[in-house]
Structure 1
């Protein structure tokens, strides 16, 4: 039976008529970030095409629009439409960890494997005492000298235990072995070592980043926040556009070259007193409530599933616990409290939250998997780049100890290389450098306070919670156990896989992971 058209409804051809608009998909380039955000936001209020919107816009119109809808009406999603690229250069390694600690951050940092850090120097904070300043310089100079000596020495060791294949050119052979030597030598780089970071972020992430860094306990981070905000108000660095402007009429590119990169969207970014106030209150709660002492038995532990309120309170106190108890020990104590007591601790954490303050990161709970990880700062920096997880980070401390030097040398140099390096005194000098660094850190804490952390080496260990779903756990363990990766994070990722297999053998069975104890080819990259 043929289908009859409904009364009053005419049938249309499947083909679009000549006067119907065709599909249009095109990229946008060369538009200031705030103008771009305005043009995209207009889709919800206008039937104009993007080309039409951009053609009639000016930087001033965009600023006026953002003032009204972003700041007055609170349409914060508009800031997600403006993206900015930044170069953040010559900052300390530890400041870089703080800078990139954003869940929606995208960027890249200098690699300790593929380039030597011997010429970068290190960050020196303002130190009131000349004597303390001298001890600070001596501590970091010692670590840099040890790093340079170990880099050269281990490269030489590897050339004697790893033969060059006939098909491999000498420069490539030397570069590859030098990178393997850096993998071990990097443990001696101080956290003050200068590095550089490139980032591409939305204006909303940038505003949150600036506000967070502006409230950081480290003056260096507060200075970075101020300079990020200032960079948004200045014309962008655009060398390719300057060469183009020279061939165009005067003023043709003024919208791009004269105005600030994003002067409106971040102009109100400021430090919030809330995180520090909440932390101070929670420190008192942890000191009063938590008892006993416990140490982490292994470097990776997968927590048992917890009721949501227990998980949130345990996470709130984990970050501020001066005794550095394992998460499992804290969670057991919190689970024993009454629901009313747990609710009171949550209320304490929220008491000083202002209208525009986001919830503390501990409230991002409810993930099925919570790993507690203890790793050297170098390995942690690599794991820290994973964004599809919530990370609760404790500061590095000598109290967490160091990975065994013998295991590091065997993992990074093979058994033969480790044996030769030990005979030639490289392992002893490595251990002496770590011992001296811890002594300098403890000696300088009274004068430098929080800034004494700059004297710790990358070998110092940090403890953190990584909360995630199964897909992210499988992704991390597959990627980070790969045979070309650094041996330190390969071991952590393997332990994550083993912990997952112990709790959920059926779910871990399909993961394509590589056992880091399997010998690898040091010339494979």
Structure 2
């Protein structure tokens, strides 16, 4: 005879089966609890029973999972357990579409707890107009219903006209450089050269690989001519704490578009994980500190607001020369070393507010008297009202390796997403030069390129005069900028080995190869252990990757 408890257990298991992947094994996944799972797992941490029983007794029974009933339950859990940590147990997917490339970096700069994926300029062509909106670029609201609107649109159209004019001629020039008949791709059993292919399927796979190889190369060469106003789509997965932090940073940003996107993100996530983003708001503390630091840097180093002449990538070390100066005549080595560490920290705090290399700034900071040094400390930390009022990334300074970089924006865009690094950026001003692709002159497209560059810099100057907060929309991906990245050995190994693979963009490959060489000059043992950094010179960067994709597709077709 069946025991009454057996029937009860079956009913409970049937209830639980909607929310867990199994009801009897020690490892299981949670499902169908979006918006509530964070509260369930938080309760789990203090319950004597397992998660499934806790879920059944406290959440499933009596239909508490109806959201109107669950709201109060979640609120009680958050109050009891603290929503900072609980926020990491609940997540959401969010999409931003048709936003500027400039805005994507504001979003991606918040790197802990979130996983972004962004539309790639390697695969998307921008040589077509939308029937209603025209070319794919963002027009800032500040220009609407003003005389600035026509100026902005005219210059942007010139840039995109030049991009469009270069696309097909460049494709044809590359086609001449690498004709279909002489191209070679390792397609496994299908063959490696056009003349070897025996079937229509193999020829289609080869031709698709060839066309994609050429297309991605054209996109790589032409991306420097895309302004930061260019539209992009990005998807983002993050936990609740990340989104609360992200929205607050967006609402605090100096870019009006980012503020608007922050407001929109708050509205949409409030429909999905409302309890985890409800405290997101602009930080008056951060805004005050940002403005005060800009003023202070202008007061102390007005001459460093101008453009220096140096360029390239440097590995910044401890200022041993300064320490040596301080210890002449029997000075305290330990004290000098500690003071040097503080001076470097202050330099990192000031770095985003000036326009010079790190070492030049550090020497200037070392020459200050105690009063201005204290002003820097006081201004950067500001008046912290709560523990949530935290200074910016200057105080992350002190990791193993600091690289002072002058590269085109496109290289920064690709390397800034590594989450274990500390990135700081100086103002984007198009006077550090432009990384002109060699393929442009070889294809006879210099006139079009010059026209895009001239329109960009003219628009930047105009916006700088009339709408300074919108000026960076006119900055091209090929314009150079100064930025810094700090990483420990493990994070640097990951970035350098990943970003030098043959399928990577040639320019960020070159930047990472330079970083590896500089590291090897100072720390040869560490650099040697980064065994998968690739220093080969690769022109057709997507060839092998595209070929491997065809082989995988062929294998899947066979399985089907």
Q: TM-score range by the shorter chain?
A: 0.7 to 0.9
Question: Could you tell me which residue of structure 2 aligns to residue 193 of structure 1?
Answer: 230
> Quick one: distance in 1 between partners of 2:213 and 2:358?
40
- Once the two structures are superposed, the pairs formed by residues 10-409 of structure 1 within 5 Å of their partners are 24-33=26-35, 35-55=36-56, 56-57=58-59, 58=65, 59=67, 63-64=71-72, 66-68=74-76, 70=78, 74-104=82-112, 105-119=114-128, 121-126=136-141, 127-128=143-144, 130-164=146-180, 165=183, 166=194, 167=197, 169-234=206-271, 261-290=272-301, 293=304, 295=308, 297-305=310-318, 307-321=340-354, 324-337=355-368, 342-355=373-386, 356-403=388-435, 405=436, 408-409=437-438
| C-alpha deviation, 1:106, in angstroms | 0.6
Distance 1:53 1:375, change over 3 A: farther
What TM-score do you get using the length of structure 2 for normalisation? 0.77
Conserved? CA contact 1:441–1:456, under 8 Å: yes
CA separation in 1, counterparts of 2:73 and 2:300? Answer: 50
> Residue 327 of structure 2 corresponds to which residue in structure 1?
none
User: CA contact under 8 A between 2:506 and 2:538: conserved in structure 1?
Assistant: no
Q: Per-residue deviation at 1:295?
A: 2.5
How has the CA–CA distance of structure 1 residues 520 and 303 changed in structure 2, closer, same or farther, with 3 Å as cutoff?
A: same
Cα pair 1:494 1:516 within 8 Å, conserved: no
Q: What is the aligned counterpart of 1:450 among 469, 487, 490? A: 469
**Change in CA separation of 1:374 and 1:72 when aligned onto 2, cut-off 3 Å:** farther
Is the alpha carbon distance of 1:285 and 1:70 closer, same or farther for their aligned partners in structure 2, counting shifts above 3 Å?
farther
Greater helix proportion: 2
Q: Which runs of at least 4 in structure 1 moved beyond 6 Å after TM superposition?
A: none
Pairing partner for 1:440 from 438, 459, 469: 459
* Pairwise CA distance, 1:76: 1.1
Q: Answer yes or no: is 1:421 the counterpart of 2:443.
A: yes
Structure 1 residues 370-410: Cα deviation after superposition (integer angstroms, max 9, x where no partner): 1112222222111111111111122322022212x2xx22x
Q: Secondary structure at the match of 1:223?
A: helix
Cα distance change of structure 1 residues 374 and 340 upon mapping to structure 2, 3 Å threshold: same
Contact kept? 2:425, 2:484, Cα under 8 Å: yes
Preserved CA contact (<8 Å) 2:423 2:483:
yes
Aligned length: 463
- SS at the partner of 1:485? coil
CA shift for structure 1 position 292 = 5.2
Q: Distance in 2 between matches of 1:64 and 1:328?
A: 55
SS at match of 1:524: helix
Q: 1:86–1:198: 8 Å Cα contact kept in structure 2?
A: yes
Q: Does 1:482 align with 2:501?
A: yes
For 2:55, what is the secondary structure of its paired residue?
helix
Per-residue deviation at 1:516?
A: 5.2
Partner in structure 2 of residue 255 of structure 1: none
- 1:523 corresponds, among 537, 543, 551, to 543
State the shift of 1:128 in Å.
5.0
Three-state SS of the structure 1 residue aligned to 2:512 is helix
Secondary structure of the structure 2 residue equivalent to 1:264: helix
Q: Is the 8 A contact 1:108 1:198 kept in 2?
A: yes
Q: Are the counterparts in 2 of residues 441 and 455 from structure 1 also a CA contact under 8 Å?
A: yes
Q: Secondary structure at the match of 2:314?
A: strand
Aligned equivalents of 1:470, 1:206: Cα separation in 2: 29
Match of 1:500 among 514, 519, 525: 519
In the alignment, the residues of structure 2 paired with residue 384 and residue 348 of structure 1 have an alpha-carbon distance, to the nearest angstrom, of 26
Moved more, 375-384 or 71-80: 71-80
Structure 1 unaligned blocks of 5 or more: 1-20, 235-260
Give the direction of change, closer, same or farther, for the CA distance of 1:61–1:312 in structure 2 (3 Å limit): farther
The answer to whether the Cα contact below 8 Å between 2:227 and 2:475 also exists between their aligned partners in 1 is yes
Write the distance in 1 (CA, Å) between the matches of 2:373 and 2:353.
Answer: 16
CA shift for structure 1 position 520: 5.3
Distance in 2 (alpha carbons) for counterparts of 1:470 and 1:213? 31
For 1:296 and 1:82, how far apart are their aligned partners in 2?
49
